[in-house]
Structures are given as structure tokens and as C-alpha cells.
Amino acid sequence: MTLIIKPKSEFEVCVEAEITPEIARNLEDAKNFKVYLGKEERRLEELFDLEFVDDREEKVILKGDFSRVKWIGREMKGGEIIVEGNVGMHLGAFMEGGRIVVKGNCDDWVGGMMKGGEIVVEGDTGNRVGCNYWGESEGMKGGRIVIKGNAGNYIGEKMVDGEIVVEGNAGDFVGSEMKGGKIVVRGKAGYTGWDMKGGVIEVGECELSPSFVKDAEGVWRGDVNVKGEGVVRILQD
């Protein structure tokens, strides 16, 4: 089934709503799904209008302003979420499968520690896309994040596997302490490759860490400071 969710009002404080396509399976469960308005526990239908379309999908459509709604798609394993506007922090954190499409912009922490599935953002995102949460030693471990606009600082920190594609520009610290996987920034990026241990970065133009060495094929390898075997290809070199 498809579940269409619309906020009943503007939210004065942030809402934490770990909405996944699984909740579209049953109307009663969806109505009673636990969410938090600040520190108060609420049922989903208290804060949002819910509409069900009886089809063969497992799908959630978010309509309206979700820019203060956090943790959408957390740990989601399958199905699809379509966000028609903007969305708040931690979209698709720990995601394992399925697909999230955002027609607007995202806040920070898109796909934090994601393991699988796909996130497509048609607008821009904030900082820390596909990163590790504070204190964790590994960031994104699989799946794919595509950002059609621009991304903020810290893209793919401590990334282990998977792929992040930014069609526009990115900020500072792309692929810091990256261990594997691939990051593509088609436009410009700031500081790139700091303490990179492995994986591949392709970037239009960037401020590469000085501790990289150019090989015979014109590919930069490093970060030598950490005996890294990362590869950076600067497309406009």
C-alpha cells in the first residue's frame, strides 16, 4: 500500500519520526506509530494527516514541509520513500535497503552509516553525508547516495564501501579517513583526501591534501601520512 503523510501544522520543535515503508503495511499500525515531538511521545496521526492508497506498493509519500522532521527512513530495509519537499536531519541513517527520493533539499547527516539501498536528492544537502556518527570508527558501508545539487562539508568521512555522487559542488573534507568505496564530486570541492587510507575519489577540482603523490598515469595516491592507498582522480587536471 502507499501511505501519504502530511504535517497537520508547522512544527515549533523538531519531530523525530523513524518512518519506513514498513509502516504502510497496516493503517492501524501506521496511525499508532510512535513519534516524538520534542521530548513528548505522540502517535503519528496526532501530528500528521494520513491517507492510504490501496495498491501493490510498499511506499510512503511525504507531502509538505518535513524540514524539521528527523530520522526519516532510519534502518529502512526495503520499499520506497518519496519526499516531495525538504526534509530534516538524519535521512536514511543506518539504511539497509530500498530507495529514498527527495525532490527538495536535505539537512545534515544524509545516509549516516548507511549499509545498503539508494538515496537520491534532487536538491542540495547539508554536511556529513554518508559519514560515521561521532566516535564510530566506520562510516558508510554500502549503498549509493546521489545528490543532484550541492553538498556541504564532510562527505563520506571514514567511508568503507558504497558510492556517493555529488553532481554539483561539495565543501571541505571530502573523504577524510576514507577506507574504501567511491566518492564522485563533478563540480568543485574544498579540502580533499585528508588521512585517506583507501577507496577512490573523483573530483572536478579540489584542494587536495599535499600528502598525495602523483603516479605515472597522473593519478594521485595517498594519504602518505597514514600510509594510505587511496586514489584521487582530478577530472579537470
Partner 1 sequence: MSVIYIKGGIVVDPTQGIDGEIMDIFVKDGKIVEESGAGKADTVIDAKGMTVVAGGIDIHAHIAGPKINAGRAMRPEDMKYARNKSGPLRCAMGRVLMTCPAIGYEYARMGYTTAIEPATPALYAIHTHEELDSIPMVDKAVLPLFGNWHLTFKFAAEGDIEKMKAFIAWAIERSKGFGVKVVNPGGVEAWKYGRNVHSLDERIPGFEATPAEVLSTLIKASIELNLPHKVHVHCNNLGVPGSAETTAETIKLAEKIGASKDGRESLHITHIQFNAYTGEKWRDMGSGAEELSKLVNRTPVTVDMGQPIFGHTTTMTADGPFEFALHKLFKSKWINKDVEIETGGGIVPITYRAKSPVNAVQWATGLEFGLLVDADKVVISTDYPNGGPFVEYPYIMTLLMSRKFREKEIEEKGVNSYIEKATSLPSLDVERTFYEIVKMTRSTPAKILGLENKGTLKVGADADITIYPFDCRNVSPEDYEVLLKGLRSVAYTIKDGEIVVKDGEIAKEVWGRTFWVNAVKGATQEIIEEDLNEVFRYYTVSRGNYGVREEWIRRPETIAIEE
Cβ contact 22:79 at 8 Å:
yes
**126 vs 35, 91, 123, 149, 192, CA distance in Å?**
24, 11, 10, 11, 17
Q: Binding residue for partner 1 (CB under 8 A) from 28, 135, 216, 227?
A: 135
**Which of residues 39 and 56 has its CB atom nearest to partner 1 in the complex?**
39
Residue 55 in contact with partner 1, rule: CB under 8 A: no
Residue 11, interface with partner 1 (CB under 8 A)?
Answer: no
Q: Give the one residue of 136, 210, 213, 237 binding partner 1; rule: CB under 8 A.
A: 136
Rule CB under 8 A: is residue 134 a binding residue for partner 1? yes
41 sits near partner 1 (criterion: CB under 8 A): yes
Closest by CA to 202, choosing from 216, 221, 182, is 182
Cα separation, 7 vs 28, whole angstroms: 18
- Select from 39-47, 95-103, 158-166, 168-176 the region that touches partner 1 (CB under 8 A): 39-47
Residues 189-218 that bind partner 1 (CB under 8 A): none
Least CB distance from residue 69 to partner 1, whole Å?
A: 16
Stretch that binds partner 1, among 7-15, 53-61, 84-92, 133-141 (CB under 8 A): 133-141
* Residue 29, helix vs strand vs coil: helix
d(CA 16, CA 160): 27
Q: What share of the chain is helix, strand, coil (3-state, %, to 5)?
A: 10, 35, 55
Q: Does 46 bind partner 1 (CB under 8 A)?
A: no
Contacts to partner 1 by CB under 8 A: 36, 39-41, 133-136
